[in-house]
């Protein structure tokens, strides 16, 4: 491995091939960067749950191969992407959109507009549509992220009489603990990002966010098929649609692969491959963060174990924090959104301190509330949701004297979210979703 990696020396990123072990448990994607310096090869390895079922998951493997490649493409973001396996029309669209929107934050932060529009060279191919015995009425697979959202999905589905199977990509203590509290069965897949990439990052490769929910979603879809389960039920909220800022003709959105746009893109791509689009939907899409927080507040059994802070989920176990960091936008937002529904002493014991009573958090809350800068590059809710939570909390004895509430109340009062109508809209249910009729009852099963 060279000590210096010069991204501009690379002209092509190649999707070389993928392979699947004979028992279907090991998926390996092979990728390569080439150009004026010696080529660099990467292998991404994904271990899927064991199964005796003979299922044809080719269409899903192909999409997973495409999605995982972005982690390595981004190291140099060269102008040409070559896909040696060819692309169907729907796959070409999937890859094009995944790059243009899923790498928006990466391209903005590195000031690489060209990274969003590489030339994609691939033979046009047509694949025989998959023939499947898939059935929506089978138990759903629910990806669990260790935070409040997937807990609300699990409990809503249980309350409506479904028996979901919990699913995680890689092993993380907060995820396992949430599943334990739910009492449900759990299956796991593991993803190994090639160590070469980590070395290249240290040597000067471009780095930044990738649309990780797209990758996790495809791993979940393959796992569900192998296990003979029904739909993959995500916990992506309505406000994942709101971006961070506009740049180069696109809305840069850290959460794009949690958005409705991505959900529809993946459903359409499944359909084009002959697979039922109802295999994939988000149960929480019609809900605001406030309304999810209110539901979560009624599930105190999870308070000691859930963690939304992303710093617990680093790939390297040694780099993982053990609990809420309290300083990132995700911690700050989740504290605010739960404040109207959970008493201060309880919330303090969950987070370790009162984040609304710490002056150091003022600039961060100004960004979260839309009073300055732009929405942080983290999975935080939109300005209306943050403003509405702030406004409700400001009327409560527990929060009204905190430094953040006292410091920002006058400014927040001038924002649209400060109006009564906005708060009640956010507590309601929106109609924009793709939830099949069989699952709609679950949405209101816990209140
Ligand atoms: C945990 C986390 O937030 N990681 C982001 C962080 O990476 P960091 O270097 O601090 O640690 P690792 O996650 O352990 O990654 C090490 C390097 O590996 C590469 N890599 C990792 C995963 C992957 O899928 N592809 C990769 O290429 C990468 O080079 C890492 O440096 O900062 C990175 C750079 O900004 C982020 O890319 C890491 O984000 C992870 C991919 C991640 O899993 N993030 C989720 C917690 C997350 O942000 N989820 C979003 C979903 C948004 C979406 O559209 O999918 C959310 O919850 O809203
Ligand atoms: N490691 C993982 N394995 C499987 N699914 C995951 C993983 N991480 C996140 N997810 C899923 O991806 C989606 C987005 O994650 P997100 O972090 O927003 O949700 P969460 O952890 O349930 O709640 P919170 O917003 O409080 O963190 C959810 O459906 C979540 O369950």
State pLDDT tens for residues 286-345. 999 999 999 999 999 999 999 999 899 999 888 888 889 999 999 999 999 999 999 999
Q: Confirm whether 28 is domain-assigned.
A: yes
Tell me, yes or no, whether 221 and 103 share the same domain: yes
- Which residues, 6 or more positions from 195, have their beta carbon under 8 angstroms from its beta carbon? none
Residue 208 CA, ligand 1 centroid: distance in Å: 8
Per-residue pLDDT band for 417 (boundaries 50, 70, 90) equals low
Q: Confirm whether 2 is domain-assigned.
A: no
Range of the domain at 59: 7-282
ipTM attached to this prediction = 0.97
Q: Confirm whether 33 is domain-assigned.
A: yes
Residue with the smallest CA separation from ligand 1 atom 23 is: 71
Q: Tell me how far apart the 2 most distant CA atoms of the chain are, in Å.
A: 65
Tell me, yes or no, whether 127 and 57 share the same domain: yes
Return the ligand number nearest the Cα of 307. Answer: 2
Encode burial over 51-65: b for 16+ CB neighbours within 10 A, e otherwise. Answer: beeebebebbbbbbb
DSSP states of 136-200 as a string?
A: TTSPPEEE--SSHHHHHHHHHHHHTT---EEEEES--HHHHHHHHHHT--EEEEEEE--HHHHHH
For range 412-431, the mean pLDDT: 70
Domain boundary among 226, 251, 282: 282
Tell me, yes or no, whether 53 and 193 share the same domain: yes
pTM listed for this prediction = 0.96
Residue 428: pLDDT over 80: no
Q: Tell me which DSSP letter residue 284 carries.
A: T
**pLDDT at residue 374, as a whole number:** 81
Query: What atom in ligand 1 is closest to the CA of residue 109?
Result: 35
Residue 158 CA, ligand 1 centroid: distance in Å: 31
Residue 173: pLDDT over 90: yes
Domain boundary among 258, 282, 306: 282
Tell me, yes or no, whether 235 and 347 share the same domain: no
For ligand 1, say whether the CB of 244 is within 6 Å of any of its atoms. no
Ligand 2 mutation target, pool 146, 150, 215, most atoms within 8 A of CB: 150
Q: Confirm whether 43 is domain-assigned.
A: yes
For range 246-273, the mean pLDDT: 94
Tell me, yes or no, whether 256 and 166 share the same domain: yes
Chain centre to alpha carbon of residue 433: 17
Tell me, yes or no, whether 135 and 37 share the same domain: yes
Per-residue pLDDT band for 412 (boundaries 50, 70, 90) equals confident
> What is the distance between the alpha carbons of residues 320 and 309, in angstroms, rounded to a whole number?
11
Tell me, yes or no, whether 343 and 273 share the same domain: no
For range 169-182, the mean pLDDT: 97
Tell me, yes or no, whether 247 and 369 share the same domain: no
Q: Confirm whether 254 is domain-assigned.
A: yes
What's the structural domain count of the chain? 2
Residue 426: pLDDT over 80: no
Of 258, 287, 289, the C-alpha closest to 105 is 258
- Which residues, 6 or more positions from 258, have their beta carbon under 8 angstroms from its beta carbon? 213, 234, 236, 237, 240, 282, 379
Backbone angles phi, psi at 194, to 5 degrees: -60, 130
Query: What atom in ligand 1 is closest to the CA of residue 319?
Result: 14
For range 122-137, the mean pLDDT: 87
Q: Confirm whether 432 is domain-assigned.
A: no
Backbone angles phi, psi at 30, to 5 degrees: -110, 130
Q: Confirm whether 49 is domain-assigned.
A: yes
Tell me, yes or no, whether 274 and 330 share the same domain: no
Tell me, yes or no, whether 168 and 242 share the same domain: yes
For range 100-120, the mean pLDDT: 97
Residue 430: pLDDT over 90: no
Per-residue pLDDT band for 17 (boundaries 50, 70, 90) equals very high
Tell me, yes or no, whether 277 and 327 share the same domain: no
- Poorest-confidence range of 38-52, 176-190, 229-243? 229-243
The more confident residue out of 62 and 251 is: 62
Q: What rounded mean pLDDT belongs to the chain?
A: 93
Q: Confirm whether 442 is domain-assigned.
A: no
β partners of residue 281: 233
For 407, other C-beta atoms within 10 Å of its C-beta total 16
Per-residue pLDDT band for 382 (boundaries 50, 70, 90) equals confident
User: Are the beta carbons of 106 and 206 closer than 8 angstroms?
Assistant: yes
**pLDDT at residue 445, as a whole number:** 83
DSSP states of 394-440 as a string?
A: HTSHHHHTSHHHHHHHHHHHTSGGGSHHHHHHHHS--S-----HHHH
Tell me, yes or no, whether 273 and 373 share the same domain: no
> What is the distance between the alpha carbons of residues 422 and 420, in angstroms, rounded to a whole number?
5
For 10, other C-beta atoms within 10 Å of its C-beta total 24
């Amino acid at each position: 491995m060279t000590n210096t990696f010069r991204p501009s020396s690379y002209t092509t990123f190649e999707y070389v091939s993928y392979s699947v072990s004979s028992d279907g448990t090991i998926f390996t994607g092979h990728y390569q960067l080439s150009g004026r310096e010696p080529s660099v090869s990467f292998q991404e390895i994904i271990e899927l749950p064991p199964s005796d079922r003979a299922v044809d998951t080719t269409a899903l493997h192909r999409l997973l191969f495409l999605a995982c490649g972005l982690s390595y493409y981004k190291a140099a973001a060269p102008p040409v992407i070559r896909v040696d396996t060819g692309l169907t029309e729907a796959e070409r669209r999937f890859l094009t959109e995944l790059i243009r929107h899923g790498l928006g934050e990466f391209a903005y932060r590195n000031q690489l507009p060209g990274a969003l529009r590489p030339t994609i060279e691939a033979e046009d191919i047509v694949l025989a549509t998959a023939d499947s015995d898939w059935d929506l009425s089978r138990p759903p697979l629910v990806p669990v992220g260790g935070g409040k959202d997937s807990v609300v999905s699990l409990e809503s589905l249980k309350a409506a009489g479904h028996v979901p199977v919990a699913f995680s990509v890689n092993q993380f203590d907060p995820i396992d603990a949430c599943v334990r509290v739910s009492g449900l069965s759990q299956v796991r897949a593991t993803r190994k990002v090639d160590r070469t990439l980590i070395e290249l990052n240290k040597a000067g490769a471009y780095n930044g966010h990738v649309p990780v929910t797209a990758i996790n979603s495809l791993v979940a879809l393959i796992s569900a098929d192998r296990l003979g389960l029904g739909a993959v039920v995500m916990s992506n909220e309505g406000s994942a649609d709101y971006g961070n800022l506009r740049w180069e003709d696109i809305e840069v959105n850290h959460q794009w692969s949690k958005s409705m746009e991505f959900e529809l893109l993946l459903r359409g791509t499944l359909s084009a491959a002959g697979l039922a689009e109802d295999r994939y939907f988000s149960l929480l899409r019609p809900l605001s963060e406030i309304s999810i927080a209110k539901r979560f507040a009624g599930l105190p059994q999870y308070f000691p174990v859930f963690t939304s802070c992303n710093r617990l989920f680093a790939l390297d176990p040694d780099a993982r924090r053990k609990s809420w960091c309290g300083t990132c936008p995700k911690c700050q937002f989740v504290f605010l959104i739960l404040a109207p529904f959970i008493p201060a002493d309880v919330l303090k014991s969950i987070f370790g301190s009162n984040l609304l009573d710490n002056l150091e958090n003022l600039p961060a809350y100004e960004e979260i509330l839309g009073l300055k800068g732009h929405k942080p590059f983290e999975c935080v809710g939109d300005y209306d949701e943050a403003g509405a939570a702030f406004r409700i909390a400001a009327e409560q004895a527990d929060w009204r004297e905190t430094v953040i509430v006292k410091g920002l109340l006058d400014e927040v009062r001038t924002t649209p979210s400060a109006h009564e109508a906005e708060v009640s809209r956010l507590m309601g249910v929106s109609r924009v979703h793709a939830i099949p009729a069989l699952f709609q009852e679950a949405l209101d099963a816990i209140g």
